[in-house]
Amino acid sequence: MLAACAGHSSPSAAGDGSVLLPSFDKNLMITATLPQNTIGEELPTEGLGTIDDSFWSATLGGFTQSSFSQALGFSPGTKITLMNISKNITHTLDYVKKIKGPPAKFPANPNLPISAHGNGVFGKGFASGPISPGKSVTIKLSKARTYLFGCAFHYGEGMHDVIVIKPNATPGPEATPPA
Ligand SMILES: [Cu+2]
């Protein structure tokens, strides 16, 4: 049995057995919100955008736990799923440095390993290893800390962000998507 939801309007039959679904407003942008405890990553220019975050006094981009680039926030001990949401670009998630709080001063050219380090537990020296488009890895967050992190391939293209690990931490404000 096939079923389709077409809202409350009764679907019109096209005569050949197919059903015409209501058309969407072209200006209505459809964005996905990620499941709980998931980080999505892609280039800011692919759709996540960048945000000039006033709390961190920094431009953040490339990572989200909802729809657009934002500072990340999770409780200690959370097991997160890191998902590469790019269509065709491989990314990583690498530790950059630990910070005490704002401002988030991203170093100009950190040495970020491409191969995996840290046995899946986030902390000093952690590197996810390359994640292909559409693929995910699991990362365990441990102690309450604040870190800068980024993509080993695209750090210089704006894929760097802040993660706050503390009880009941929530993500920061979201970017507006690129035009
Ligand atoms: Cu990348």
pLDDT band at 33, cuts 50/70/90? confident
3 C-alpha vs ligand 1 centroid, how far in Å? 39
* DSSP secondary structure letter of residue 48: T
12 C-alpha vs ligand 1 centroid, how far in Å? 45
User: What's the pTM value of the predicted model, to 2 decimals?
Assistant: 0.82
18 C-alpha vs ligand 1 centroid, how far in Å? 41
pLDDT over 50 (residue 26) = no
CATH 2.60.40.420 holds for 33-165 = yes
55 C-alpha vs ligand 1 centroid, how far in Å? 24
158 C-alpha vs ligand 1 centroid, how far in Å? 9
**How confident is the model over 146-171, as pLDDT tens digits?**
999 999 999 999 999 999 999 999 99
68 C-alpha vs ligand 1 centroid, how far in Å? 15
**How confident is the model over 45-97, as pLDDT tens digits?**
999 999 999 999 999 999 999 999 999 999 999 999 999 999 999 999 999 99
**How confident is the model over 102-145, as pLDDT tens digits?**
999 999 999 999 999 999 999 999 999 999 999 999 999 989 99
Instruction: Identify the CA nearest to 47 among candidates 24, 29, 71.
Output: 29
Residue 37, CA distances (Å) to 31, 60, 78, 86 in order: 18, 19, 7, 18
Query: Hey, how many other C-beta atoms are within 10 angstroms of the C-beta on 123?
Result: 16
91 C-alpha vs ligand 1 centroid, how far in Å? 4
42 C-alpha vs ligand 1 centroid, how far in Å? 6
11 C-alpha vs ligand 1 centroid, how far in Å? 43
pLDDT band at 172, cuts 50/70/90? very high
151 C-alpha vs ligand 1 centroid, how far in Å? 5
pLDDT band at 28, cuts 50/70/90? low
129 C-alpha vs ligand 1 centroid, how far in Å? 11
33 C-alpha vs ligand 1 centroid, how far in Å? 20
Q: What are the sequence ranges of the domains in the chain? A: 33-165
Name the most confidently modeled range: 10-14, 17-21, 96-100: 96-100
